[in-house]
Amino acid sequence: MKKFLCFLLIGLVFSCKTKKSVNEAVASKELAAIKVIQGHYENQKDFKTISIRANAKYKDDKQSQSVNADIRIKKDEIIWINVKLLGFPVAKALITPDKVSYYEKINGTYFEGDFRFLSNWLGTDLDFFKVQNLFLGNAVDDLTKQNYVVKIEDGLYKLSEKIKGKTEKEFSFEAANFLLKKEQINQVSENRSLEIVYPSHLKQENVFMPDEINIKATQENQVSIDLFYKNITFNEDLNFSFSIPNGYSPINVE
């Protein structure tokens, strides 16, 4: 349950209330990396709050599990997640730029701390804004801060860092709206990798959204999460209340 909740914090995303499929295009002509990056950032989301209902399927080498989740996002400030199993609340999480907090009811335990435990699980440095980007279908990193080379691969524009360091990152985009289709983060020396795939996208209120997200994280073992999006509403007045129940025990998730 502990590992499952860790991945839910970075994996749960949302769907569109009124679904309208987005037409995508195959990359067929060479473009400069800056053109692909600019095209991607033209899709930035403009909202104050989002309310989401989502499904998630989790699998590792020992278990598989399905849950529902209510997710609320206050842009650049709060990500709030309420996880339900068979209709019953089992865990709640609150992510802010300063810390990550969650508690789970089955064992009566809680965690409060920084982003290091999520970063350790995924093999890349994370902060609130990178997690928010992942939820929104944006590249997890700020692509304007690195130099990339671009090539066409499998009908997508794939950006790779010109100077490869300990952590290697690649981002692939379709050609019609430069929507993110896949990002890969690898730490070869640590034998860790993360692959995030967005199979399809939707458009609601002139905003592009991922319709599904597939996450595979590999370290000693492989963990996969498949996410499916049911409902989303924008710019409502939302409650982000969160408090750890009395009597719960702190845990170390590193």
Residues 6+ apart with CB under 8 A from 28: 152, 155, 175
Q: Any bridge partners for residue 81, and if so which?
A: 71, 93
Where are the strands (E) in the chain, listed by range? Answer: 49-59, 64-74, 78-85, 88-95, 100-104, 109-113, 148-153, 156-161, 168-173, 180-187, 192-197, 201-204, 207-210, 212-218, 222-234, 249-250
Q: Are 234 and 223 in contact (CB under 8 A)?
A: no
Q: Where are the alpha helices (DSSP H) in 54-190?
A: 116-122, 128-136
Angle at 13 between CA 148 and CA 217, to 5 degrees: 60
pLDDT > 70 fraction of the chain, expressed in percent and rounded: 88
Summarised one tens digit per residue, pLDDT across range 10-29 is 444 333 334 556 888 898 88
Q: How far apart are CA 10 and CA 7, in angstroms?
A: 5
Give the pLDDT confidence score for residue 16 in this predicted structure: 36
243 class by beta-carbon count within 10 Å (0-12 exposed, 13-18 middle, 19+ buried): exposed
Q: For residue 117, give the amino acid letter.
A: F
Q: How far apart are CA 167 and CA 152, in angstroms?
A: 22
Q: How far apart are CA 127 and CA 75, in angstroms?
A: 14
Cβ neighbour number for residue 89 with a 10 Å cutoff: 13
Q: Are 39 and 32 in contact (CB under 8 A)?
A: no
152, pLDDT greater than 70: yes
Give the pLDDT confidence score for residue 10 in this predicted structure: 47
Which pTM was predicted? 0.84
Summarised one tens digit per residue, pLDDT across range 73-111 is 999 999 999 998 877 889 999 999 999 998 999 899 998
DSSP 129: H
